[in-house]
Amino acid sequence: MSAVQNTRLGIILMVATTFVFAMQDGISRHLAGEYNVLMVVMIRYWFFALFVMAVAGRQAGGLRRAAATSQPLLQAFRALLLITEICVMIWGFTRLGLVESHAVFASYPLLIAVLSGPVLGESVGWRRWAAIGVGFLGVLIILQPGIGVFQPDAVIPLASALMFALYGLLTRYAARRDSAATSFFWTGTVGAVGMTAIGFFYWEPMTAPDWGWMAALCVTGALGHYTLIRCYEVAEASAVQPFAYLQLVFASTLGVLVFSENIRPEVAIGAGLIVAAGLFTLWRERQNR
């Protein structure tokens, strides 16, 4: 298969991934509106851990090789940081909805650029700093600080974006000594243990229809991770990463059509600035490489 074909397939897989993850977010919003967020994420992680172990078991060396790492504290911290970010983001869905949560969360690539210097020692040129400034102007337009309509809840997805950006940078840092398979294994297994230690105390009985939605949540989670893995196997990350912003489009569409949310003009303008700045930042990173 040629490089062009690989890139084309990678783009298709990335679009599919963003669609699946948007559906997962919609299901998460429904379930978290009815049950405790910690319990919902815990059950989701049980299935995710089984999926991770099944994937690792099919690789050469099996579970032992996937679990082998010289930096267990870093890997464990990554996993716990991610489950915290997921819980915060889903909580944000119940407070703000899908549209506004994803509009603010779209700033995470800019946060990665900001933190790449102190965490990874990477340099950020003036062009990317300018793009970061434009992106955060978009965040301010959405949050409207200092205006009477400002909601403190609006900082929830921003906190989630910050945690996800740090998680992404720590994943890059871990990749200097561990394989992607090892990081993936620790993310799923340690995350499941951590969520069980907390979420088990918040168990609530679920109705039969909602168990069906929970099953759908687990399947979409595993499917999304599978298509994402395949995406990065067949194409360079820099070529497909811009299409990750489609999750904002899909999630917003779901929020409007299913949950009767509204897209405020300032949210649309702010999200546009964030996405434009993020795309420019990704382009500059690719040019520098």
Per-residue confidence (pLDDT) for residue 68, from 0 to 100: 93
- Structurally, how many domains does the chain consist of? 1
Closest CA to 158 of 200, 105, 208: 105
**Whats the size of the chain, residue-wise?**
289
Neighbours of 258 (CB within 10 A): 12
Per-residue confidence (pLDDT) for residue 36, from 0 to 100: 96
Alpha carbon distance 73, 71 (integer Å): 6
Range of the domain at 196: 3-288
Alpha carbon distance 49, 67 (integer Å): 13
Contact between residue 229 and residue 54 where contact means Cβ atoms under 8 Å apart: no
Alpha carbon distance 263, 174 (integer Å): 38
Per-residue confidence (pLDDT) for residue 61, from 0 to 100: 85
Joined together, the tokens standing for residue 200 give: 């088990």
Alpha carbon distance 186, 10 (integer Å): 25
Give, as one character, the DSSP assignment of residue 178.
Answer: S
pLDDT in tens, 87-130: 999 999 999 899 889 988 888 888 887 777 777 676 667 676 78
pLDDT along the chain (289 residues), means of 10: 63 90 95 95 95 89 91 96 95 91 86 75 70 77 58 83 90 87 93 95 95 95 86 75 84 91 85 81 67
Per-residue confidence (pLDDT) for residue 1, from 0 to 100: 44
Alpha carbon distance 66, 120 (integer Å): 24
Per-residue confidence (pLDDT) for residue 286, from 0 to 100: 65
Q: Which residue has the tokens 């243990």?
A: 193
Per-residue confidence (pLDDT) for residue 137, from 0 to 100: 80
